[in-house]
Amino acid sequence: MAMTIPLKGAAAETVMALLEEAGAHDLPWREGKTFAYVYEGGRDVEEVAKRAYMRFLTENALDPTVYPSLLKFENEIVAMSVAHLRGDAACVGNFTSGGTESCMLAVKTARDHARRERGIAEPHMVLPVTAHAAFQKAAHYLDMEMTLVPVDPESFKVRPADMEAAIRPETILLVASACQYAHGVVDPIPDLGELAQSRNLLLHVDACIGGFILPFFRRLGESVTDFDFAVPGVTSISMDFHKYAYAPKGASVILHRSKELRRHQIFTAATWTGYSVINPTIQSTKSGGPLAATWALLHYLGDEGYLRFAERTLEATRAITQAIRKIPGVRLLAEPESSLIAFAADGFSVFPIVDIMRRKGWFVQPQLGYMGSEANIHLSIDQSTLDLVDRFVPDLEEAIAEAQRRNDAALPEPVRELLGALEPASFTPETYRQLMAMAGTGEGLPEGTTAINLMLDAMKPEVAAIVMTEFMNDLYVQPKGAAA
Ligand SMILES: *Cc1c(COP(=O)(O)O)cnc(C)c1O
């Protein structure tokens, strides 16, 4: 039997119960035990966000002329963001659905600016390998050329000379991060601003994760590299609210230094038979919910509330950083400059730590090795972490000791070699099925997510990408028994 729309409707309570049942096995974020994906502001923050969101759930931000409320929220959020990032009266921006959309719009704006103003038909961009994958997605969707630049192996920051060496005649855009997600460090943005100006290029600063919190860290006495509009040469900035502004998912901004630049972000179509389409963002019809919730939280928490959250986050980050420094066998990859931590292991694999911590009720994030960055564990700290540090640290210590002791978490050498030798061109769906069977039966392999992470880490990145694509392609299918 195919799964069809249920013939008869059910009582609202029945449907809600089904939703609860479905959610029972989701990652439990409410206790703050999740070191990625969720930023927890507490029950009151959640309540304000939900009320604001629900009030504007049905309003459609597609047309700001008939929803003056949504236009007001957006312009005010952008104005507050500009002030937060030390821009001037000429700065403009738009509210988007998330960091990826903001980054893609920055690239699209640069591309169309270059085509129009500089006559470059096939523009190219230069980005550190530590820049978020959203820029590679932008290059892919927008069919742009890019060069990935390696970073300094000690600091994980990009070196301006390496960025400069990658510039070509068709280069239009440099990208840098404040901070980058993987290791939590800020690129040398003042130097890159100078470079951009001297070569007449645009410079986008991806401050999706750091943009909101770092100005508060600076006020708390941390030395934070200048990364915002105060730096000459920075032409656009992306900043998310659904991270350290604790807004519901679907909340970010893309800011430009001027309307002259932002013009190239807007898509307009007068050449079809329907209503006039004038879209500054990728989405067209969109709920007013995320916009209203973000606006509400900025007013509810206020500068003081966010400063307090930043202080708690900083304290938790320091405590966990210091604890990790003392744990034998592991090593911080970089000195954290924000609220993100990455640590690697010496002489054993970090991947089992993920499964062991999961058993203890914590979610920590594995990162595969690539271009000078070895496999590691990532922790995004937030204000809710502070109350848990005393429980988290001993559990982490135990998990690391267990991972070290059990050192069965290595692939047998012949398997490693086999995986490493796989080539993208000869990788067929059959190869994928064999690999999955191997990981699934687990013969001679560690349990849980460890096996798959070890396997992915042993492969060429291009092969790992195929494996992950196949995995996703298998994940989103009709439920079992539903196919006709
Ligand atoms: C999270 C993040 C992004 C992507 O944002 P999404 O909201 O997940 O689409 C881009 N850049 C950085 C630095 C990020 O941390």
Which range, 193-202, 422-431, 438-447, has the best average confidence (pLDDT)?
Answer: 193-202
Top-confidence residue, 167 or 439: 167
DSSP 287: B
- State the average pLDDT for the chain: 94
CA of 384 to the centre of ligand 1 (A): 20
Across 139-143, average pLDDT:
98
Across 11-36, average pLDDT:
90
Digit-coded pLDDT (tens) for 319-362? 999 999 999 999 999 999 999 999 999 999 999 999 999 999 99
Q: At what angle do helices 351-359 and 448-458 cross, to 10 degrees?
A: 160
What is the C-alpha to C-alpha distance for residues 320 and 330, in angstroms, rounded to an integer? 13
The tokens for 46 are: 């959640």
pLDDT at 252: 98
Evaluate if residue 418 carries a pLDDT over 80.
yes
pTM recorded for the entire structure: 0.96
Across 204-212, average pLDDT:
98
Amino acid identity of residue 196, one-letter, is A
pLDDT at 411: 83
Contact 344, 375 (CB under 8 A): yes
CB count within 10 Å of CB 379 equals 25
Q: Are strands 202-206 and 171-177 parallel, antiparallel or unpaired?
A: parallel
The tokens for 203 are: 């410079």
What is the C-alpha to C-alpha distance for residues 349 and 408, in angstroms, rounded to an integer? 9
Comparing CA positions, the residue from 295, 317, 215, 316 lying closest to residue 248 is 295
Across 300-311, average pLDDT:
98
Comparing CA positions, the residue from 376, 465, 453, 359 lying closest to residue 409 is 453
The tokens for 458 are: 């042993």
Contact 203, 233 (CB under 8 A): yes
Q: Sheet of 124-128: strands edge to edge?
A: 92-96, 252-256, 236-240, 202-206, 171-177, 124-128, 145-149
What is the C-alpha to C-alpha distance for residues 76 and 253, in angstroms, rounded to an integer? 12
Evaluate if residue 15 carries a pLDDT over 80.
yes
Distances (CA, A) of 475 to 89, 123, 154, 432: 47, 35, 38, 14
Is 349 touching ligand 1 by the criterion CB < 6 Å?
A: no
Helix segments in 263-405, DSSP class H: 289-326, 351-359, 389-405
What is the C-alpha to C-alpha distance for residues 154 and 150, in angstroms, rounded to an integer? 12
Digit-coded pLDDT (tens) for 168-206? 999 999 999 999 999 999 999 999 999 999 999 999 999
Q: What is the band of 442 on the pLDDT scale with cuts at 50, 70, 90?
A: low
What is the C-alpha to C-alpha distance for residues 69 and 98, in angstroms, rounded to an integer? 21
Contact 334, 155 (CB under 8 A): yes
pLDDT at 441: 62
pLDDT at 407: 65
Distances (CA, A) of 140 to 71, 119, 136, 253, 262: 31, 21, 6, 22, 21
Which run of H or E residues covers position 127?
strand 124-128
How many Å from the N-terminal Cα to the C-terminal Cα in the chain?
Answer: 5
Which run of H or E residues covers position 269?
strand 267-269
pLDDT at 444: 64
Q: What is the band of 482 on the pLDDT scale with cuts at 50, 70, 90?
A: low
CA of 248 to the centre of ligand 1 (A): 14
Evaluate the omega torsion of the peptide bond into residue 179 and state whether it is cis, within 30 degrees of 0: yes
Residue 298: partners with Cβ closer than 8 Å, 6 or more residues away:
77, 80, 245
Evaluate if residue 121 carries a pLDDT over 60.
yes
CA of 380 to the centre of ligand 1 (A): 12
Taking the CA of residue 242 as reference, the ligand 1 atom at the shortest distance is 7
Q: Phi and psi for 452 in degrees, rounded to 5?
A: -70, -40
Evaluate if residue 408 carries a pLDDT over 80.
no
Is 208 touching ligand 1 by the criterion CB < 6 Å?
A: yes
Across 203-212, average pLDDT:
98
Taking the CA of residue 179 as reference, the ligand 1 atom at the shortest distance is 13
What does the buried/exposed string (b/e) look like for 311-347 if buried means 16 or more CB atoms within 10 Å of the residue's CB? bbbbbbbebbbeebeebeebebbbebbbbbbbbbbee
Upper half-sphere CA count for residue 203 (Cβ side, 13 Å): 28
For tokens 């479905």, the residue is: 22
CA of 132 to the centre of ligand 1 (A): 7
The tokens for 391 are: 């429980």
pLDDT at 469: 93
pLDDT at 445: 65
Is 98 touching ligand 1 by the criterion CB < 6 Å?
A: yes
Give CA torsion, residues 231, 236, 242, 244, to 10 deg: 0
Across 143-156, average pLDDT:
97
Across 45-61, average pLDDT:
97
Taking the CA of residue 99 as reference, the ligand 1 atom at the shortest distance is 5
Taking the CA of residue 103 as reference, the ligand 1 atom at the shortest distance is 10
Mutation probe of ligand 1 site: the residue of 35, 37, 95, 100 with most atoms within 8 A of C-beta: 100
